[in-house]
Structure 1
Amino acid sequence: MKPIGKNFQQFWAQETSLTVLLVVLAAHIFIIIPLGQKTVFGQVIFLFFYISLLVAGMFLLLKNPRLKRITLILLILLAAGIVLRSAGFAVADNLTTAFYCILLSWVVLLRTFGEGPVTVHRIFGAIVVYLLISFIFALLYHSIFLLKGEIAFKGLSSADRKEFMYFSLVTLTTVGYGDISPALPFSRSLANLEALIGQLYPAILIARLVSMEFESSRTKKEK
């Protein structure tokens, strides 16, 4: 009987792990964060999915030996940010998580666009990166709010994370309802950058996946 740790390593080495990561991330962004953290139960559920996302990402990051130490340091900082509640630690926690998600996005992209045929799991991996982009910007927006206060954004109904996650997704998809808007030069520039990424990423993604599928089909025919 194989050790549990070995089974976990084998699972996260497979492309199906990208699908699991997408499920955890989508549940966190579209279900858990919108519910808010006003009650103790809400806080517990939020932390559960938050930690699940971090752990799932950790397994992918640890496949690269160079990222092992960085990942462990980031997890320690994240744990400190969760335990020690203050504006300063919240900002540090947001920035640390954003950096963590950037590393995770890089690893997922490497696996998504690696050699081999285009599978549904790889497509899910590309969606993971798209959602991670929105999550990263939501963390940055929240950090700006913590540093600058209510003058950073107009139209916020609360200081909850769900407000910034909603604004980030609206900006990334360039829907632009206008109910929440950035009010400072830096927050506006950040929103412009996210909107630009939101337009370019799908176009580049589709072109790359089509190219990979074409090359894979041609290789099969030659064999």
Structure 2
Amino acid sequence: MKRLFDLYPHRFTIFLISLLFVLFGTLLVPFDLFNTYVTPIFFVVNILAGTLLISKKKKLHGFFIALFVIIIVVVLFSSYVVTEEKVYRYIEFAILFSFYCFVTFEIIAQVWQSTKVNRGVILGLMCGYICIGLVGFFICMAVELLEPGSFSGLPAIDLNPESNRDGLIYYSFITLLTIGYGDINPVSDLARNASVLIGLLGQFYLVIVTAVVIEKYIRHSGKTE
């Protein structure tokens, strides 16, 4: 536990690096190899880094240690052992969805409550924005599971989360960044509402959270001068 606290000042750096590997690992490792064998490992590292974010909250220690163990078992089991049973994929999906929602909230809270802006806060700001994109992916995936075919342009339309994972991650971030290439489109009312929600979350984050950090940086710089 002491070693965990020693890493706490670097929590945003570790978490950001693990996020970047999860999102862009296919640029370094062949696509099929990465998705089949490497992605689960990086997800485990990312989850461990996310757990580090709340390591100083004593009331949550026991809960998150148990949650971390459950996530590791489910992710590794569903990725390397079970290939046909979709129930394990759904359990993995639900746990990861809950985890990233909480971690996103915790990152935003820590950035918001910071008294001065340093490199860690800037990295935390970046982590929060990327996490919103991941939460958006889980929202889109939930929509697709509830109403298959809600998004046109996906490589596969079925109930296997792995089939449409990359397409929906891409769609979530394209929507968050307000690029909107149009190669994947929401065709159901639920999917359209989810897309609007993702866009609003991104804009609220930039307008409110980023603005607060900039204001703190300007105020702190003024006092230093």
TM-score by length of 1: 0.83
What 5-or-longer segments of structure 1 have no aligned partner?
none
Whether the aligned pair in 2 keeps the contact of 1:58 and 1:71 (CA below 8 Å) is yes
Q: Equivalent residues in 2 for 1:59-74 (5 A)?
A: 59-74=52-67
Distance in 2 of aligned mates of 1:21 and 1:62: 13
Query: What is residue 152 of structure 1 aligned with on the other side?
Result: 150
Q: How far, CA to CA, are the matches of 1:24 and 1:60 in structure 2?
A: 13
1:218 to partner: Cα distance: 4.9
Counterpart of 1:113 in 2: which secondary structure?
helix
Question: Which deviations, in whole Å up to 9, do the C-alpha atoms of 1:96-134 show, x marking residues without a partner?
Answer: 212111221222223323343211221110110110111
Identical pairs, percent: 21
- Contact 1:95–1:140 (CA<8 Å) still a contact in 2? no
Moved more, 205-214 or 53-62: 205-214
Matched residues, number: 213
Equivalent residue, structure 2, for 1:136: 135
Q: Residues 87-126 of structure 1: matches in 2 within 5 Å? A: 87-126=86-125
Q: Cα gap change, 1:138/1:153 in structure 2, threshold over 3 Å: closer, same or farther? A: same
For residues 129 and 190 of structure 2, the distance between their equivalents in structure 1, rounded to whole angstroms, comes to 22
- 1:158-173 equivalences under 5 Å are 158=156, 159-173=163-177
Corresponding residue to 2:51 among 58, 61, 67: 58
**1:33, 1:144 → 2: CA distance?**
28
Aligned residue number for residue 159 of structure 2: none
* 1:81/1:48 CA distance change after superposition, 3 Å: closer
Question: Residue in 1 aligned with 2:6?
Answer: 10
Alignment CA distance shift 1:101-1:42 (3 Å): closer
Q: Which runs of 4+ in 1 moved over 4 A?
A: 32-37, 218-221
User: Which sits farther off after the overlay, 169-178 or 22-31?
Assistant: 22-31
**Distance (whole Å) between structure 2 residues aligned to residue 8 and residue 75 of structure 1:** 14
The 3 A distance-change label for structure 1 pair 20 and 80 is closer
**Distance in 2 (alpha carbons) for counterparts of 1:36 and 1:81:** 21
TM alignment of 1:141-220, pairs within 5 A: 141-149=140-148, 151-158=149-156, 159-220=163-224
Shift of 1:179: 0.7
Q: For 1:117 and 1:179, how far apart are their aligned partners in 2?
A: 42
Unpaired segments ≥5 residues, structure 2: 157-162
